[in-house]
């Protein structure tokens, strides 16, 4: 396998993620997460499943030059994009390749652990929570968010169901797997946090165009499922999807609410 064939799918995902999803959806979500985290100057912070680094970049000025932040992700292509982004003022950022289920840090290493829309994609979610608690210092906090509902994504589900069937719908719904308070609460049971609070938050996403949104939500995220369609089916799916997004069009933009669950767990 050549280098290009090995890296292209993951590189395409990371680049589209940074170009489309970050400014439209993930930056507003990150700002909301940081309000709950209430970071203090000088703290040492770990951003787990950091993706292309939007949480870490927005956190750095809040921590100031005496702070530190480490962004960790399992996807090397995401980290490669993170390293190309402008370096913000404030705390230095270290990008690390690693697995959330076996964090490469000593016990009690951080004042805060953050995780934006990452837990739902992890294989052993409870083990990942154990690891996040392990690396926290006493009387510190883990703050994470997960998607509960994304209006534009939900609007496309009938088209995904029609053309891609149960397997496609399961893949499409993966980002929302922990979007229920009871489900998320149960994950924390027995992990050892002293207190856990779960709040609801709503932000407004603004995507420059419906085509950008479809490029990320369908073309990139469902690439493997779309390969099963004929050219005619592919075109019909996207025609249906464009029609279903009509209620969220505001001029050229696509504007829609995103509902999140935010968990604050204290050691």
Dump pLDDT digits (tens) for 106-150: 999 999 999 999 999 999 999 999 999 999 999 999 999 999 999
Asked if 116 and 78 count as a contact pair (C-beta separation under 8 A), the reply is no
pLDDT at 238 (0 to 100): 97
Residue spans of the domains in the chain: they are 3-149+176-205+254-266
Compute the average pLDDT of residues 36-59.
98
Compute the average pLDDT of residues 158-177.
95
pLDDT exceeding 90 applies to what percent of the chain? 92
Query: How far is Cα 142 from Cα 130, in angstroms, rounded to an integer?
Result: 11
Query: How far is Cα 264 from Cα 206, in angstroms, rounded to an integer?
Result: 27
Compute the average pLDDT of residues 63-75.
97
pLDDT at 9 (0 to 100): 55
Give the architecture (CATH level 2) of 3-149+176-205+254-266. Answer: 3-Layer(aba) Sandwich (3.40)
Write phi, then psi, for 217 (nearest 5 degrees): -70, -40
DSSP string, the chain: --HHHHHHHHHHHHHHIIIIIIIIIIHHHHHHHHHHHT--TT-EEEEET-TTSHHHHHHHHHH-TT-EEEEEES-HHHHHHHHHSPPPSSS-EEEEE--GGG-SS-TT-EEEEEEES-GGG-SSHHHHHHHHHHTEEEEEEEEEEEEEEEHHHHHTHHHHHHHHHHHHHHHHHGGGTT-SHHHHHHHHTTS--SEEEEEEEEEEEEES-HHHHHIIIIIITTHHHHTTS-HHHHHHHHHHHHHHTGGGEETTEEEEEEEEEEEEEE-
Compute the average pLDDT of residues 154-165.
97
Compute the average pLDDT of residues 228-237.
96
Compute the average pLDDT of residues 215-236.
92
pTM for this one? Answer: 0.93
Query: How far is Cα 26 from Cα 203, in angstroms, rounded to an integer?
Result: 10
Beta bridge partners of 33: none
Dihedral sign of CA atoms 75, 80, 85, 91 in order: positive
Asked if 33 and 62 count as a contact pair (C-beta separation under 8 A), the reply is no
Query: How far is Cα 59 from Cα 93, in angstroms, rounded to an integer?
Result: 10
CB atoms closer than 10 angstroms to residue 199: 12
Query: How far is Cα 71 from Cα 115, in angstroms, rounded to an integer?
Result: 10
Q: How confident is the model at residue 5 (pLDDT cuts 50, 70, 90)?
A: very low
């Amino acid at each position: 396998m050549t280098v290009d064939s090995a890296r292209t799918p993951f590189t395409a995902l990371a680049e589209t993620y940074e170009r489309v999803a970050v400014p439209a959806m993930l930056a507003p979500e990150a700002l909301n997460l940081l309000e709950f985290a209430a970071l203090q100057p000088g703290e040492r912070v770990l951003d787990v499943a950091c993706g292309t680094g939007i949480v870490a970049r927005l956190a750095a000025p809040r921590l100031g030059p005496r702070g530190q932040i480490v962004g960790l992700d399992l996807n090397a292509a995401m980290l490669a994009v993170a390293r190309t982004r402008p370096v913000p003022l404030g705390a230095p950022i270290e990008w690390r390749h690693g697995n959330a289920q076996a964090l490469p840090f000593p016990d009690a290493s951080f004042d805060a652990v953050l995780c934006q829309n990452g837990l739902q994609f992890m294989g052993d979610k409870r083990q990942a929570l154990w690891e996040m608690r392990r690396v926290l210092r006493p009387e510190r906090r883990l703050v994470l968010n997960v998607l509960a509902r994304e209006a534009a994504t939900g609007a496309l589900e009938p088209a995904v169901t029609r053309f891609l069937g149960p397997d496609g719908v399961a893949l499409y719904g993966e980002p929302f797997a922990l979007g229920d308070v009871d489900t998320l609460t149960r994950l924390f049971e027995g992990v050892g946090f002293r207190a856990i609070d779960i709040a609801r938050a709503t932000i407004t996403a603004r995507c420059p165009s419906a085509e950008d949104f479809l490029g990320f939500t369908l073309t990139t995220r469902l690439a493997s499922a779309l390969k099963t369609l004929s050219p005619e089916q592919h075109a019909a799916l996207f025609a249906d999807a464009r029609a279903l997004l009509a209620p969220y069009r505001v001029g050229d933009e696509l504007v829609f609410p995103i509902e999140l669950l935010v968990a604050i767990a204290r050691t």
